[in-house]
Amino acid sequence: MYSVIVAEDEPLALKSICSIIERHCPDFKVVCTAENGKDAAKAIREIKPDLVISDIKMPRPTGVELAEIFREELPDVCFIIISGFQDFEFTQSAIRSGVTDYLLKPITPGIVKNSVEKAAERIRVIRYHARNTMLRSMGRGESVPEYELKRYFPDESYYICITRKGGLPRRFYFDRNREIYSDINESFIVFGRDEMESLYMIPEEILGSKKAFLDYVEKLSDDLSDVSYKTVVYNSKPFKVDRILENVQSIYRNFDKLSVIGKSRIIDIADLNEKELCDDDYDDCDMIIDEVGGYAQQRRLAEIKECLRRTAKKWDIDGKNQLWVEYFVREMFVLLRRYKLIEVSIGEAEYLMGDVFFNAGNLEELMEGIIDILPESAEEGVIEKVDSKESFDMIDQFLKANISTSYSLQEISDRFNISQVYMSRIFRKYTSVSYNKYMTSLRIDRAKELMTNDPTLFIKDVAIMVGYPDQFYFSRIFRSYTGRSPSEYLKEAEQ
């Protein structure tokens, strides 16, 4: 339901506008009226409505002056201006003020209805972008004013769920991952910190029951069958709209604590107790750091590598979460740098560790990737391997020829008999981005080419042809890269 303030200094006209909205605009509700500009301005500041319908020549501020004032102060508020004069100057000033529509008296129900429906489309777009901004803020642990939550999340209560392919978002260096959002027409609210993740906020009234939500979670999990491991964390207890911020931040905290490298997990946090959600005892980790430090001081690289392999096996059995493993790797690299056992730059080490964590299918792969960053021996220092543009071009040609198949970095590395770390180095050298980013850009460019050449293609077919079996996931990725949905892109291609 969208809120409306009607400002009109003629009582009969005011009553008529309110009656038309009540009878013919079911998605709008008049929440306040005003008979002069001063009272209207006060009400707009207090209520922050979605729409203001104002006469152009009220006692000041006039309707146009109100639009000018709130274009800066509350840019999300839409204005419809009504005038008894067909005056070019009035029309121009209204356009400059950014009003949604400009109506001439006498008004009719049909004219008002059409104008309000036009405003509704603009409000939907405003709400969509505002909601995305708030989801981004909440995903980063930032607070959002409660009145904005209630304004842009109109349903009374929600279920929440996070799904993720592989490990946590890149955390070892600042990487401009593209955040993923639901389409403006989707009933479910979706946000992802990168392409591998989706946070679902589903209005309870859409599903109707807890069983329907659990069935939907099961479907989301089944859709993630093309990955080495997945994490699905949800809360089977719906929450009221005024607790969105608390629940979004809570599920992110718990999701990060529950993510285990190489282990597929589907967890209802409503069933967990505080002890199960708390794994902050790093004593065991510190003991291994001390062991690595002893070897590092003696420059015994072989023993360090053996310690890492042994640790990976133990932590795989124990189910240590990714935060734990990240802590260990960071502390270990500090030690290795202190004893000059590794001389790659901090920047390159961060990039390489980020890729290792992002692409590892299990803890053994992760530790082997970390070991690949280390030199072969204490005397060797930095690993230098010979590569060429020709070798990259060969890999690139293979990927382009097989774009409909989703190859992981590990699978490509195995195919060309190159370690993951070295493959990451090749892609950063010749593309300046990670393997995953490069492949996504290839797929989106290919999808654009296909749709441009044949606008009659179905979106689901285009998605499959570029390696995305899930049409909705493809649409979200496509929008994040192009700013348009595939259907919007197809319409443009037809013109």
Q: Look up tokens 């992981």; give the residue.
A: 408
Q: Which amino acid is at 307?
A: C
Residue 88 has pLDDT above 80, yes or no: no
User: Which among 345, 367, 351, 363 has a CA at the least distance from the CA of 424?
Assistant: 351
Residue 358 has pLDDT above 50, yes or no: yes
Q: What are the E-state strand segments in 127-258? A: 157-165, 180-181, 189-192, 197-203, 230-240
Neighbours of 271 (CB within 10 A): 10
Average pLDDT over residues 379-396: 67
Beta carbons of 28 and 116 less than 8 angstroms apart: yes
Residue 403 has pLDDT above 80, yes or no: yes
Domains 2-127 and 393-494 share a fold: no
What long-range pairs does 316-319 form, CB within 8 A, spacing at least 24? 316/262, 316/362, 316/363, 316/364, 319/260, 319/263
Average pLDDT over residues 232-255: 92
| Cβ-Cβ contacts under 8 Å for 364 (sequence gap 6 or more) | 262, 309, 312, 313, 316
User: What are 99-123's pLDDT values in tens digits?
Assistant: 888 888 888 999 999 999 999 999 9
Cis peptide before 455 (omega within 30 of 0): no
Q: Which amino acid is at 293?
A: G
Question: Measured between alpha carbons, how far is residue 256 from residues 173, 177, 190 in Å?
Answer: 17, 18, 18
The residues spanned by each domain of the chain are 2-127, 155-271, 283-373, 393-494
Q: What are the E-state strand segments in 119-221? A: 157-165, 180-181, 189-192, 197-203
Neighbours of 66 (CB within 10 A): 28
**Which conformational region is residue 141 in: left (phi greater than 0), alpha (psi within -120 to 50 degrees), or beta?**
left
* This prediction's pTM: 0.81
* DSSP-assigned letter for residue 3: E
Handedness of CA 205, 211, 215, 218 (dihedral sign): positive
User: Which among 73, 201, 79 has a CA at the least distance from the CA of 132?
Assistant: 201
User: Percentages helix, strand, coil for the chain, rounded to the nearest 5?
Assistant: 55, 15, 30
Looking at residue 351, its pLDDT comes to 86
What residues pair up with 198 in beta bridges, in sequence order? 163
Average pLDDT over residues 328-351: 85
Average pLDDT over residues 244-258: 90
- Give residue 447's Cα distance to chain centre: 21
Residue 261 has pLDDT above 60, yes or no: yes
Topology of the domain covering 2-127: Rossmann fold (3.40.50)
CA–CA distance, 495 with 490 (Å, rounded to integer)? 9
Q: Look up tokens 């899930």; give the residue.
A: 470
Question: Measured between alpha carbons, how far is residue 245 from residues 140, 192, 249, 275, 391 in Å?
Answer: 11, 16, 6, 23, 49
Topology of the domain covering 393-494: Arc Repressor Mutant, subunit A (1.10.10)
- Average pLDDT over the chain, rounded to an integer: 87
